[in-house]
Structure 1
Amino acid sequence: MTPPARFDAIVLAGSRGGADPLAEYAGVADKALIQIGGHTMLARVVSALREAGARRILVVHSSDAVRDSALTLGAEILAGASGPSESAARALDLLGAPVLLTTADHALLRPEWITAFLAAVPPDADVAALLASRAVIEAAVPETKRTYLRFADGAWSGCNLFWLATPRAGEAIGLWREVEGDRKRPWRIVRRLGPRLLLRYLAGRLPLSAALAHIGALAGVRAAMVASDFGLAAVDVDKPADLDLVRRLLA
């Protein structure tokens, strides 16, 4: 697939409601506004998207402060819903496909990761996700602690980059709603494979690509994965230890 010279992007920059421990740790009201190296995480993500060729950038927010910051950065804005999946669905309805989806806590995001990802998306995919293997991640940043899904072709972690290639990607977001609460409990996600594939998974004979294809079929879409050569692409800022690590890396 030839990567698009220009593309639209969605940045999820809302909160799940209530006090955010990471924002409190950093001494700010909103996670997206945490300062790293003199710039907010939101500003870093918007800048990387622009350098990669983003045309319209839609920031989904849940506070006035993040809304105002997004406008200052020249982004469009959309009030967030009760959770990230519903927010993503609303943003997709507004911008339409194809569109790139990422998050405001992807503070290390680099334009070359985006262009490499888009260039590698299979042309027949409705939705694609960037993932990095444990070996690639630990080679780049051995001190990080990630949540891994373990398959026959290794252990994998998400990179918070998704290409919603066609309008059918909205069906995948519907499945995302179902598994949203299981993000930190991989076994519950794997349980959706069904008995036959689950047995293959437990026996260590199920590759990640086959699992994604099956889960995509459950949602009625063609789902694909792209393996990242950049281990740092899997490092987001989800907890205080991540923030300390990213600040050290960017120092």
Structure 2
Amino acid sequence: MGKWTAIVLAGERPEPDMFALANGVPLKALIAVDGEPMISRVVRAVLAAPSVGRVVVLAQDPARLIAAGTEWMATDGRVTMLPARSGISASVAAVAGSAEAPYPLVVTTADHALLRPEMVEGFLAAAGGADVAAAVVERRVVERGHPGTKRTWLSFRGGKYSGANLFALATPASARALEIWSHVERDRKRTWKLLSFFGPLILIGATTRTLSLKQAARIVSRRFGLRLRVVPLPWAEAAIDVDKQADLDLVRRIVDQGKVYVGAATVGAMVRFTALVTAAMTT
């Protein structure tokens, strides 16, 4: 059994989800992609990653997630379903390090419908040695694979990046990251507010594009006393989650066409990343 615990976030707002209802289900996590609810696809993907031994699903009312296509999660001994709190950071902090969710933790979301085991393995292999790690995808990789995709981009010297909804909380020290995140999660889609929280060096460096992604990670690490790593992934699909109908249409089209785009800044980078994934998947 793998040593990592995967947390899948499936929280919902208290008001009715009109996007979900328009797709014939009460919750976004239950929207079907290729005939399977998104949350089922995500949980299956993380369980198929050799490094992951168990999954914790967090939702306001976990019982509502058990429906056609997700019944197996209620009986699979590797899956635990727990009630979420009112925010992402509070929900994860409430279970992190508990008997149900021991460290190390990898966190993703129920709407990451294109997640695949090799993405999880590659990310965890590259995140080794960090307290906290976050996956990103460079804009050119995403747009070469799927032109016209609308994402939130963070600009740095050398490229623009979108989050990939994969986070590693590898050690108890990562509790500090959850505390920090509790102050910024409301602004996570508002680029400048998010950057300004991390200090003027980050904000100015990103605004002028004089700061690289690695330099920004080092500054944040020193400021908060954490070993932070940002991991660029070579899969365009890793940056695509489902927030709106256009996202869902794109995801369904990608799945129907079997279209997967893998890019990298250099051939050498792709070779090194492939080696990491291969080693992680075969050990």
1:236 and 2:248 correspond: no
1:158 and 2:163 correspond: yes
1:44 and 2:41 correspond: yes
1:193 and 2:192 correspond: no
Measure, in 2, the Cα distance between the counterparts of 1:12 and 1:197: 28
| Secondary structure of 1:168's aligned partner | helix
1:24 and 2:18 correspond: no
Does the C-alpha gap of structure 1 residues 73 and 21 become closer, same or farther in structure 2, counting only changes over 3 Å? Answer: farther
1:249 and 2:254 correspond: yes
Q: Is the 8 A contact 1:132 1:231 kept in 2?
A: yes
Aligned pair count reads: 247
Q: Is the 8 A contact 2:41 2:113 kept in 1?
A: yes
**Map of 1:85 onto structure 2:** 89
Q: Is the 8 A contact 2:195 2:202 kept in 1?
A: no
Measure, in 2, the Cα distance between the counterparts of 1:156 and 1:11: 23
1:79-118 matched pairs, under 5 angstroms: 79-94=83-98, 95-118=101-124
User: Cα deviations across residues 112-131 of structure 1 (Å, max 9, x unaligned)?
Assistant: 111111111142x1000110
Measure, in 2, the Cα distance between the counterparts of 1:244 and 1:73: 30
CA shift, 1:73, in A, is 5.2
Measure, in 1, the Cα distance between the counterparts of 2:202 and 2:44: 41
Q: Is the 8 A contact 1:127 1:224 kept in 2?
A: yes
Does the C-alpha gap of structure 1 residues 153 and 73 become closer, same or farther in structure 2, counting only changes over 3 Å? Answer: farther
1:61 and 2:66 correspond: no
RMSD between superposed Cα atoms in Å: 1.8
Measure, in 2, the Cα distance between the counterparts of 1:172 and 1:193: 12
Letter in 2 for 1:182: D
Of the three residues 191, 210, 214, the one matched with 2:215 is 210
Measure, in 2, the Cα distance between the counterparts of 1:217 and 1:22: 41
Identity %: 43
Q: Which has the higher contact order (CA 8 A, sep 6+)?
A: 1
| Secondary structure of 2:14's aligned partner | coil
Q: Is the 8 A contact 1:67 1:77 kept in 2?
A: no
Measure, in 2, the Cα distance between the counterparts of 1:234 and 1:65: 27
CA shift, 1:67, in A, is 5.5
Q: Is the 8 A contact 2:156 2:205 kept in 1?
A: no
Runs of at least 5 residues in structure 1 that lack an aligned partner in the other structure: none
User: Cα deviations across residues 122-163 of structure 1 (Å, max 9, x unaligned)?
Assistant: 42x100011000011111111311100011121000000111
Q: Is the 8 A contact 1:46 1:73 kept in 2?
A: no
Runs of at least 5 residues in structure 2 that lack an aligned partner in the other structure: 257-283
Q: Is the 8 A contact 1:8 1:56 kept in 2?
A: yes
